[in-house]
Structure 1
Amino acid sequence: MDKVNHQLNKAELRRTLLKTRQSISVREWREKSDRLCSHLQNSTLFTQAKTILAYFSFRQEPDLSPLFANTQYRWGFPRCVDKYLCWHIWTPKDSIQSGTYGITEPHPDAPILDAAEVDLILVPSVACDYQGYRLGYGGGYYDRLLSLPQWQTKPTIGIIFDFAYLSQIPIEPWDKPLQAIFTETGLTQKG
């Protein structure tokens, strides 16, 4: 497949899936998100972690906020700084602000989280496929993060709704598969 066609397919797929996701009723979105949270907090990958990188739901991404009040975990959230993600420690009592792209993020003064402290990364995704590959939003933030040596060995879980779990998505040579995918129906371990 030529590169232009490939990119077009990726953009088209992203657009279609985002439209589908945003058409879910708030009640259904809440129910699916709660089911996903409940599967996630019962998984070994999750329960064995101490410091977890997460995200604040944006444009009807699965909402993981019910998990954030659990104080047995230390939570890290991203801020977009230039072309990279900078991770900050955050608790529900800390302030948040609207950052790049209108995405909620921790205050820039929040303590920075070092890669060495992180046990698990929950990766927001537009879609994931059965091989563990992820379709992101097109900014490359997570691709850049996961290609850095200090992040490459961290367990990663793609977080999506079931309709966005596809048999195959277009991938780039630099794409790396995630360790696992979670939807509202539970865990789907790759390979």
Structure 2
Amino acid sequence: MSQPLPLDRHALRQHLRHLRRALTDKQQVQAADLLAEHAVNFAPVARAARIALFLSVDGELNTRPLIAKLWQMNKQVYLPVLHPFAAGHLLFLCYTPETVLTPNKLRIPEPPLDIRQLTPLDRLDVMMVPLVAFDRDGQRLGMGGGFYDRTLQNWRQHGFLPVGLAHECQQVERLPVAEWDVPLTAVLTPSRLWQWE
């Protein structure tokens, strides 16, 4: 019998981060390859020219195989960079095979801050976002910093589609929802697509 999930956001975050970190290297490689194949066949991604992604940390689904496929398809890939002046906000910069990455203060690799490589949110077609958990209604639980909650706040006005990427073990029945949480329209896992709306 499975244990009931904790309803406290912090405890839930800890529990699900532990689950994804417990996946073996083989499981992670397999999941990343399946996800990449699945994602490039998802119509909004197949149609998109400019896609924002993230580099995986802490047991998140490895996005590098997907990024490689997107480059092969001649799509522009953008990565988040911590905003230098507006704390808690993200900028998105072009990422190519030649981009030299440097760990930021959260130890996440990011491209150098170069205004020529910056793209405004309304130029993005799809934004693939990390998450710790998602539920049957498309609610997303992040790492707790609020970076993506702020970024996704007005996604409809900007015109990009937010898509979560997750392992199957990150899906839960129902998440506790806060007023700033922004539900997703879709989540891709290695085995399936979840869509709302």
TM-score of the two chains, using structure 1 as the length reference? 0.91
Tell me the distance in 1 between the aligned counterparts of 2:19 and 2:56: 16
- Ranges in structure 2 where 5+ consecutive residues have no aligned partner: 1-5
1:113 correspondence with 2:119: yes
Q: List aligned pairs for 1:1-191, cutoff 5 A.
A: 9-69=8-68, 70-71=70-71, 72-81=74-83, 82-109=87-114, 111-148=117-154, 153-191=159-197
- Look up the SS of the partner of 2:106 in the other structure: helix
- 1:174 deviates by 2.3
2:3 is aligned to: none
Amino acid at match of 2:33: D
- Look up the SS of the partner of 1:138 in the other structure: coil
TM-score of the two chains, using structure 2 as the length reference? 0.88
Query: What is the RMSD computed on CA atoms of the aligned residues?
Result: 1.8
Amino acid at match of 2:75: Y
Tell me the distance in 1 between the aligned counterparts of 2:96 and 2:190: 25
> Aligned in 2, Cα 1:170/1:8: closer, same or farther, shift over 3 Å?
closer
Tell me the distance in 2 between the aligned counterparts of 1:167 and 1:153: 29
* TM-superposition CA deviations, 1:150-191 (whole Å, max 9, x none): 765421111110011112111112222111011111211125
Tell me the distance in 2 between the aligned counterparts of 1:27 and 1:56: 19
- Ranges in structure 1 where 5+ consecutive residues have no aligned partner: 1-6
> Aligned in 2, Cα 1:114/1:184: closer, same or farther, shift over 3 Å?
same
Aligned length: 185
Higher alpha-carbon deviation: 144-153 or 127-136: 144-153
Q: Give identity over the alignment, percent.
A: 28
